[in-house]
Amino acid sequence: MCDIYVMRSTRDEVQDENGVGLGHYSDPPLLVLASLASGSKHGHAMIDDIARLCGTRLGPGTLYGAIARLEQQGWIEPLPPEERRRPYRITAEGLRVLRAKLTTLHQFASAGLGRLEPL
Amino acid sequence: MNARLARAITRLYPPAWRERYGEEFAAMLELGPGDLGTVVDSLGAAVREHIFPTRGGNMERDPNSFGAMMRRPSAYLPVAMSLTSLVVVLSAVGYGVSQAGHVVRDADEGAVAHIFQILMTVQWPITLFFLVKWLRRNPGQTLRVFAVQAAAWLAGLAPVYFLHL
């Protein structure tokens, strides 16, 4: 999934197995939701987790742009701050949205790979 | 990243955004690498925030602040009920004093007494709900709100106790 799109404000952490720069998946809000699906995290932990998840290292500005919009949509919620850092967690609505988006991507990837099989 | 640079970058964001995310964002910048990519990404995001500001939701306030907690119905309803009770009792006392020249104590429980009892007891399950829901998530502000609720409840009870109504 992580190699489907090429977008903005992120950096590749890994190359594909052929060493070809196919780009990286970068839909910051979706990456944040996917990261928080495994438990609450603060900003740095999200960046590291997303880098492990799909090789994309979000910049801090991009990350907080995504966090702000996800929070106002009610898909994530802040927890009380730990010193100066604030953890976030995904809401029930956020989980529903994440599941729907990942299902769509899965169907898209399956259909695309199916078309490649005869070639 | 250098703390001064982190603060300078954070100051480039709109005030409303800084109010909500500035502290945690600056902390994250300070803990991370101060490389060019990070600076460019942060500056780009600041420009985007000025052009397409994040609106609504919790942007205007910290959802865990005392004010935000007090705006939750389960926080302010008990306080409102206590204060309403206080006003009702004091109004009845004031009316009695104006009519009879002294505090009137009814032998039978009238409408005012029933209103007082309902307002002062119905709020207990609401306060309990508030504590159960928020004490674990945000203990500091929850206890502050509870202190306000308790103070309002005692204030509601005060005229009955001191005037022996």
Q: Domain for residue A43, yes or no?
A: yes
Task: List, for residues A58-85, the tens digit of each pLDDT value.
Answer: 899 999 999 998 998 889 999 988 888 8
Q: Domain for residue A85, yes or no?
A: yes
B108 — pLDDT class (breaks 50, 70, 90): low
**Which of B29, B45, B55 shows the shortest C-beta gap to A65?**
B45
B21 touches A: beta carbon within 8 Å: yes
B66 touches A: beta carbon within 8 Å: no
Scanning B133-152 for CB atoms below 8 A from A yields 137-138, 140
A8 — pLDDT class (breaks 50, 70, 90): very low
The answer to whether the CB atoms of B37 and A72 lie below 8 A apart is no
The answer to whether the CB atoms of A68 and B21 lie below 8 A apart is yes
Domain count, chain A: 1
Place of tokens 């209103």: B115
Nearest Cα of chain A lies from the Cα of B2 at a distance, in angstroms, of 15
Q: Domain for residue A5, yes or no?
A: no
B64 touches A: beta carbon within 8 Å: yes
The answer to whether the CB atoms of B63 and A78 lie below 8 A apart is yes
Q: Domain for residue A2, yes or no?
A: no
CATH code at position A64: 1.10.10.10
Residue B134: count other Cβ atoms within 10 Å of its Cβ. 20
What pTM does this model have? 0.55
Question: Both tokens of residue B3?
Answer: 């703390």
Q: Which residues of chain B are within 8 Å of residue A71 when distances are taken between CB atoms? A: 57-58
Count interface pairs A-B at CB distance under 8 A.
Answer: 84
Among A64, A89, A91, A93, most B C-beta atoms within 10 A, so best to mutate, is A64
| CB proximity list for A70: less than 8 A, separation 6 or greater | A29, A32, A33, A76, A94
B32 touches A: beta carbon within 8 Å: yes
Contact by Cβ (8 Å): B25, B10: yes
Q: Domain for residue A67, yes or no?
A: yes
Task: List, for residues B7-48, the tens digit of each pLDDT value.
Answer: 999 999 988 888 888 889 999 998 888 788 889 999 999 988
What percent of chain A has a predicted confidence (pLDDT) above 70?
78
Place of tokens 């007082």: B116
Nearest Cα of chain B lies from the Cα of A104 at a distance, in angstroms, of 27
At A85, give phi and psi (nearest 5°).
Answer: -95, 145
Full domain range(s) for residue A53:
10-116
The answer to whether the CB atoms of B25 and A60 lie below 8 A apart is yes
Average pLDDT over residues B60-65: 65
Q: Domain for residue A72, yes or no?
A: yes
ipTM of the complex: 0.72
DSSP state of A82: B
